[in-house]
Structures are given as C-alpha cells and as structure tokens.
Amino acid sequence: MKTHVKALVIGGGAVGTSIAYHLQKAGWETMLVERDELTAGSTWHAAGLLPLFNMGYATTHIHKYSVDFYKSLEAETGLNAGFSVCGNLRMAQTQERMDEYMLYSSVAETADVYHEFLTPKEIGERDAELLRDFFTMKVAGAPGGETIEQVRERTAAAVRRAVDAHEGGQVLVVSHGNAIMAMLAELLGMPRESTWSFAVANTSMTRLQFGRRGRVTLTGFNDHAHALDIVAE
C-alpha cells in the first residue's frame, strides 16, 4: 500500500469520492481511505435529489454542476449511476410561498436554470384539466416517476418489512416527511385524496402499533416535544 500521496481523502461518501475524483483528474496523486465500505454513511440513505430551485447560490451551482456531471459520468466510466433528470412543479398558494419562489428564481437565473411562472389562469389555458386533477390527486405519476399509490405502497411495505423482521420488538424508522405521510395514509387505509392531508414536522416522532393480522393503530403523531428545549447557540 502507498504511504505517500499528495492528497489523502478520508471517507468514501458522496463528498469524499467526488473530491478524490476531481483531485485525481486535476493531476493530483490521490488516495481515498474508507473505514467501512464506499457510500456506507449518509450517502447510502440519500434520495439523491439535486433540485435546481434552491435558496442558496452555492447549492444551486453545485447541483447544476452535478446534474451535468452525472450525464457525462456514464460515458466516461461505463457505469450507470441510475441518475434520471426530470422536471419540477411547485405550487404557491400563499404570498409568502410566492416570495420564497421569487428568491429561488433569482438564484436560479445565476445558473441559467430554465423555469417559468404560471398563474392558475395560464395553467388552465394550457391544460384545462390539469389544475383540477392536481388538487383532486388524479394526476398520474411524472414520466419515469411513481404514482401516489406506488409511493404509498412502497413506503408502507418498507415499514412492514422492518416490523416483520423484529416481531415483538420495537423498530425506529428515520425518514423524510412525505414518505412518512404516504406510509401512514396507506397503513391507515386513508383515501388517495387524503394522502397529504396532514403535516409532519421535522424531527417529529410518529408511533404505530402493529397488531396481529396486520392491524395498525396510530398511537402518536407529530410529537416534537423532545426538540422544544433545543436552542441554537
């Protein structure tokens, strides 16, 4: 094993592997050490989203670079990272949300990110059914994406698998808010249009009890009492 290199990168997550790749490409002799296996850290858990509509200038430019980079990576390495590029539709229902999108927009412009604002009237003129179908959840999945039913079934099945693997025990699942809502709606047998009818606060805890014959009881929801005393220093 080499004992001397120009750059030693510690940790083979998204950040370490990217730094090692770019340093090596820039002509630096680079070595990467990983204590477990590549992507064993938080990178393994990430959804891999690279939204181009962000609050931060740096984040937007890094994401823009990454989107272009993933497109060229397969051609260079022959390995498919499973990255797919899709559009992004955001709805503002309040002036505050609109102000937030205007800020995103000004950042997006600095990275030449194509975007457009449409009023409900303009959306209606383009596709009379779309707006109504969106709010009544009749819109099918985005191209290459999942339908709401698929998201519900997938997230609920993942929780059931974890519960089945630890019968009689307690299972802690950490996940994104929307995944929690989809999973809950499915497990509690809620109708499709009620899927996003409740909000899950960041770091909150939701408790479910799994009985025999698959019966599920919601025993706690959106509990973030543990975070109330935390004060930023």
List residues binding ligand FAD (CB under 6 A): 10-16, 33-36, 40-43, 45-49
Nearer to ligand FAD, 47 or 230 (CB): 47
**By the 8 A CB rule, do 41 and 11 touch?**
yes
At its nearest, how many Å lie between ligand FAD and the CB of residue 168? 27
Residue reference for tokens 């397969």: 74
| Residues with Cβ within 8 Å of residue 145, at least 6 apart in sequence | 86
What φ, ψ does residue 161 adopt, rounded to 5°? -60, -45
At its nearest, how many Å lie between ligand FAD and the CB of residue 35? 4
Nearer to ligand FAD, 87 or 191 (CB): 87
Nearer to ligand FAD, 14 or 190 (CB): 14
At its nearest, how many Å lie between ligand FAD and the CB of residue 63? 8
Q: Is 177 exposed, middle or buried (0-12, 13-18, 19+ CB in 10 A)?
A: middle
At its nearest, how many Å lie between ligand FAD and the CB of residue 136? 28
Q: Is 155 exposed, middle or buried (0-12, 13-18, 19+ CB in 10 A)?
A: buried
At its nearest, how many Å lie between ligand FAD and the CB of residue 2? 16
At its nearest, how many Å lie between ligand FAD and the CB of residue 140? 23
Alpha helices (runs of H) in 78-228, residue ranges in sequence order? 95-110, 120-126, 130-135, 148-165, 177-187
Q: CA 193 to CA 8: how far, in whole Å?
A: 52
Q: Which two tokens stand for residue 23?
A: 């340093």
